[in-house]
Amino acid sequence: MSADKLVYIIKAGSTFPDMAAEQGDFEDWIISGLGLDVALLDVVDVENGMELPDISSVSGAVITGSHAMVTRNLHWSLSLETWTRQLVLAKIPVLGICYGHQILARAMGGTVDFHSQGTEIGTREITRLPAGGQDILFKGLPERFKGHTVHSQTVTRLPDNAVLLACNSFEPHHGFRIGDSAWGVQFHPEFSVRAMEGYIGHMADTVRQEGQDPEKLIRDLDNTPEAAELLERFGRLAVGN
């Protein structure tokens, strides 16, 4: 890693204010998961108007989740799509999480819309597909692993050159790769059980309206250590770029 380059966390949104006060925000969870020296990291709050860095200064980037919707085509979000495409074309490692996963897909020609079945939320079992077994990030995962999820939008069509790495019965595109250095994951490797419980609590009315039982979702929560390892592996990859 060049001394003048950093791993950037592109902050596309924030968690609920009470959760941020008690547990930290998305960028804090990602910093913890990456396991890198904080001197190698910087946070860019793109949702609140911070300027995206010149790609020449980027060793790697993680694009966070957001409570915004990709299909709203917000100005900052469209700018982020353009910037993300530049990263991919420059073969700079990038990991998109949830909203970031959808941004990556759209940046490279895929499509995003609301999921036809509503919201996926809670700890879910995810399947690593055969291509994932050959992937530098996913090959350390078991064939079945647990991941925390909360999303109502989805990548409805992957980019033409994407490699599908993971799915489950609800979400057909839980993980994909573009080229050799860009990954999107719909699940949240940075979430803890406590964070997931907080989301279910905040969204209890919504999930009830969709026919889900928030109390059962909370009872079924579990740790997701295999999913969390993706962040650490990406951190090592980004520093080594």
3-state helix/strand/coil string of 172-209: CCCEEEECCCEEEECCECCCCHHHHHHHHHHCHHHHHH
pLDDT at 138: 96
Per the domain annotation, does 210 fall within a domain?
A: yes
Query: Which CATH number does the domain housing residue 188 bear?
Result: 3.40.50.880
Per the domain annotation, does 218 fall within a domain?
A: yes
CA angle (189, 85, 108) in 5-degree steps: 80
Q: Considering its fold, how many domains does the chain have in total?
A: 1
pLDDT at 3: 65
pLDDT at 1: 60
Q: What is the pLDDT of residues 38-97, one digit of tens each?
A: 999 999 999 999 999 999 999 999 999 999 999 999 999 999 999 999 999 999 999 999
Mean pLDDT, to the nearest integer, of 169-176? 98
Q: Is the pLDDT of residue 178 over 90?
A: yes
Confidence band (pLDDT; 50, 70, 90) for 195?
very high
Q: What is the pLDDT of residues 12-53, one digit of tens each?
A: 999 999 999 999 999 999 999 999 999 999 999 999 999 999
Q: How far apart are alpha carbons 100 and 62 in whole angstroms?
A: 8
Per the domain annotation, does 1 fall within a domain?
A: no
Q: What is the pLDDT of residues 199-238, one digit of tens each?
A: 999 999 999 999 999 999 999 999 999 999 999 999 999 9
Return the SS3 of 46: helix
Instruction: Decide if 90 contacts 126 (C-beta within 8 A).
Output: no
Tokens encoding 174: 């839980």
pLDDT at 2: 62
As annotated, the active-site residues are 98, 188, 190
Query: What global pTM score does this model have?
Result: 0.97
Q: Is the pLDDT of residue 241 over 80?
A: no
Per the domain annotation, does 16 fall within a domain?
A: yes
The boundaries of the domain holding residue 94 are: 6-240
